[in-house]
Amino acid sequence: MDITSLHKLYTSGTSTPEAIINAIYDRIDAEGLCPVWIALVPREQAIQRAKTLQAADYEHLPLYGIPFAVKDNIDVAGIPTTAGCAEFAYTPTESAPVVSRLEAAGAILIGKTNMDQFATGLVGTRTPYGICSSVFDKNYISGGSSAGSAVAVANGTVSFSLGTDTAGSGRVPAMFNNLIGLKPTRGVLSARGVVPACRTLDCVSIFAETSFDASLVLAAAHGLDEQDAYSRTPYIGAGAAPWIASQTFRFGVPSPSSLEFFDDTHNPALYQAAVEKLTALGGEAVEIDIVPFLETARLLYQGPWVAERYAAIAPFIEKHKDTMDPTVAKIIEGAKQYSAVDMFNATYKLEELRRRTSSVWKSIDLMVLPTAPRTYTIAEIEATPIERNSHLGYYTNFVNLLDLSAVAVPTGFRPDGLPFGVSLIAPAFEDVALLTLADRLHRSYPTTLGVSQTKLADTPPLSMTTPPPGCLLMAVVGAHLSGQPLNWQLTQRNGRLVRTCRTHSEYKFYALRGTVPPKPGLVRVPGFEGPGIEVEVWALPEDTVASFVDGVPQPLSIGTLRLEDGTLVKGFLVEPAAVEDAVEITSLGGWRKYLQTLK
């Protein structure tokens, strides 16, 4: 059910959205609503939407005819929102903006999915609508709280789904069901129309079979929502990820003493194999101290942030506690022990931990951790519901508290047939870069989609954006080249080498007189047919470009260069007057060749 395959069926005339939607409802009728679904869009309504789309000009609709599902704490007009508790239900008159954006892009909503009640849990068992299990083994949990959303994608009923992720609910179910689980930067997707868990931390998340699909959904769903106080857009340079275009990148891994698998015997080897795969893709593993990250994680449930869960449903829990899942009620009621003083003290502690963890990002581009330490059976969770739930959040609970972005990616299977996965974690707004690397890692495994037999290799890869997110491409020809005296002006700004190539043939090259250190000059001469000049193309974070340009001395300037393949990038040019007494070195084809002639 990946998006590209469905679009091929539509464009070839092999199938239609109407036929696909009818088949989905036939399947749900045969399998039953629960435990995956809580409520459906009426079949007639979904079919009518499909017919309307078929009659429209759909070339501009990136999600044309694509079926999707949403977690039942996300509002859909005319369908009750239960948040996994029937007594809490209300019927909204308008859909959450994130749902409306997806429908505007051509997607067709099928229904609302099962979840851990009030999004409190990572297990998928805390619900009166039946327990979802992993699509690979009915005895094992699906993960939560976005349990039904993950299963609906993994079993091939819909192409993608929305969950929510406060503590890992968009990532843990992805691992347990062999999916991509994107937890975007907080506020990138509007959370208006979502029943809050912890409103200051909540994210709408995306489950998909591939990173390519997740990127399409993210592109369609994102955007500033002026009515959501927590919605935001990146400032210039935010989310800059020059490393994604580089030949190498640095990824953090925990010291062996910090790795925890809670006695699982298979996952340690699978995690190490994923580290080796990333190394083969050009990554350098850097051992980091994750202790302050783990300390941050403990604040979420062992600190006053649990009071946000109480704030979200206080009137309801005071009157209807007896209708709630006992474990959920116990956790949320525990918020009463915390005071405003506790909240301030915890906030101070969080800021201290934020400062401690920020230094880690000076040595790495991203962090790679197990998505979850291990997988539990349903029986194991029922025997110890709170302790083992906390195990599942060991590597996930700190991410939103520290305002990070994350993608869970499948990385192979255990000997018992259950999937394993790791999470790629980076600073805020690096969502697209993480998805791009996640796709490369995912494709390094001979894997299939969800529980299907469809090969990942038969789906389109996610191409790197040019320039990389939050970056500008800068071509350098002389003293800024790698190993040359001014290269530090690029590396100090976190610039990364993207490629070495040549300019178009219409450039002449000169060794300038009186420059310190020695510098060349590049001049475009229309109609000239030269060898092209060797350049290095670097990716610079956008917010560092101004200071870089400010340091460029006369007679040099920054202009637009045409490369040998026709690509246009910014780069060094020189004023024509400066070459009147310069030495032309065009025939040498580059600065390094010229420097060799001076030896």
CB atoms within 10 A of CB 204: 30
Q: Is 599 buried (19+), middle (13-18) or exposed (0-12) by CB count in 10 A?
A: exposed
Instruction: In whole angstroms, give the CA distance from residue 503 to residue 199.
Output: 51
Starting at the earlier edge strand, list the strands of the sheet with 556-562: 496-502, 534-541, 471-476, 568-574, 556-562
Listing DSSP states for 279-317 in one string gives HHTTEEEEEE--HHHHHHHHHHHHSTTHHHHHHHHHHHH
Instruction: In whole angstroms, give the CA distance from residue 145 to residue 168.
Output: 8
User: Do the strands 108-113 and 67-71 form a parallel or antiparallel pair, or are they unpaired?
Assistant: parallel
Answer yes or no: 95 catalytic: no
Residue 311's alpha-carbon distances to 75, 146, 241, 360, 475, in angstroms, are 19, 21, 37, 34, 53
Residue type for position 168: G
Single out the catalytic residue among 71, 183, 277, 519: 71
Residues 495/539, Cβ–Cβ less than 8 Å: yes
Report helix, strand and coil shares of the chain as percent, to nearest 5: 35, 20, 40
- DSSP one-letter code for 57: -
Instruction: In whole angstroms, give the CA distance from residue 390 to residue 306.
Output: 14
**What tokens were used for 490?**
């690029």
- Of 331, 264, 303, 277, whose CA–CA distance to 118 is shortest? 331
Single out the catalytic residue among 95, 133, 142, 145: 145
Listing DSSP states for 332-364 in one string gives HHGGGG--HHHHHHHHHHHHHHHHHHHGGGGT-
CB atoms within 10 A of CB 268: 16
Non-local (6+) Cβ contacts of 491 within 8 A are none
Answer yes or no: 145 catalytic: yes
Single out the catalytic residue among 149, 159, 169, 423: 169
Answer yes or no: 142 catalytic: no
CB atoms within 10 A of CB 161: 28
Residues noted as catalytic: 71, 145, 169
